[in-house]
Structure 1
Amino acid sequence: MTRLRHPSALDVRVEIRGELPHEDAEYARAQALETAAALGPGTRLLRIRLTRALHPSVTRPVLAQADVDLDGAGPVRVQLATRAAREAVDLALGTLAGRAARLREQGDIGFAAVHESVYRPQYAARPLAERRIARRKAVVLARRTPEQAARELLALDRRFHLFTDAATGRDGLVRRCPLSGAVEPWPTGADDGRPDGLAEAARRLWLTGAPFVPYAEAEAAAPAGDGGGSGGGVGRTRVLYRRYDGHYGLITPVAQAR
Structure 2
Amino acid sequence: MTRLMDNSTPAIQVAVGSGIATDIASYARRKLRVAIKHVHGSVISARVRLTRSMNPSVTEPLRAQVNLDIAGAPIRAQATAGTAVAAVDLVMAKIARQAATVGGRRLDHRCARVEERSS
TM-score scaled to structure 1, two decimals? 0.36
**What is the letter of the counterpart of residue 28 of structure 2?**
A
**What is the letter of the counterpart of residue 67 of structure 2?**
D
Contact 2:41 2:103 in 1 (8 A): no
Displacement of 1:11 in angstroms is: 2.5
Aligned mates of 2:58, 2:82 — CA distance in 1: 10
Aligned mates of 2:81, 2:32 — CA distance in 1: 18
Contact 1:10 1:36 in 2 (8 A): no
Greater relative contact order: 1 or 2 (C-alpha under 8 angstroms, separation 6 or more)? 2
Q: Cα deviations across residues 143-195 of structure 1 (Å, max 9, x unaligned)?
A: xxxxxxxxxxxxxxxxxxxxxxxxxxxxxxxxxxxxxxxxxxxxxxxxxxxxx
Displacement of 1:34 in angstroms is: 2.5
Other-structure match for 1:92: 91
Name the SS for the 1:22 alignment partner: coil
Displacement of 1:41 in angstroms is: 4.3
- State yes or no: 1:67 paired with 2:57: no
Other-structure match for 2:53: 53
Is there any run of 5+ residues in structure 1 with no aligned partner, and where? 1-7, 108-258
Percent identical pairs in the alignment equals 31
Contact 1:62 1:84 in 2 (8 A): yes
Aligned mates of 2:79, 2:104 — CA distance in 1: 24
Aligned mates of 1:63, 1:9 — CA distance in 2: 25
Matches within 5 A, 1:120-131: none
Is there any run of 5+ residues in structure 2 with no aligned partner, and where? 1-7, 107-119
RMSD: 1.9
Q: If you compute each CA radius of gyration, which structure gives the higher value, 1 or 2?
A: 1
Q: Cα deviations across residues 57-94 of structure 1 (Å, max 9, x unaligned)?
A: 1110001111110115x101012211111111111111
Aligned residues: 99
Q: Which runs of 4+ in 1 moved over 4 A?
A: none
TM-score scaled to structure 2, two decimals? 0.73
- State yes or no: 1:14 paired with 2:8: no
Q: Cα deviations across residues 90-140 of structure 1 (Å, max 9, x unaligned)?
A: 111110121122222223xxxxxxxxxxxxxxxxxxxxxxxxxxxxxxxxx
Q: CA 1:105–1:41 in 2, change beyond 3 Å: closer, same or farther?
A: closer
Displacement of 1:20 in angstroms is: 1.0
Other-structure match for 1:33: 33
Contact 2:40 2:100 in 1 (8 A): no
Aligned mates of 2:100, 2:38 — CA distance in 1: 10
Displacement of 1:33 in angstroms is: 2.5
Contact 2:12 2:29 in 1 (8 A): yes
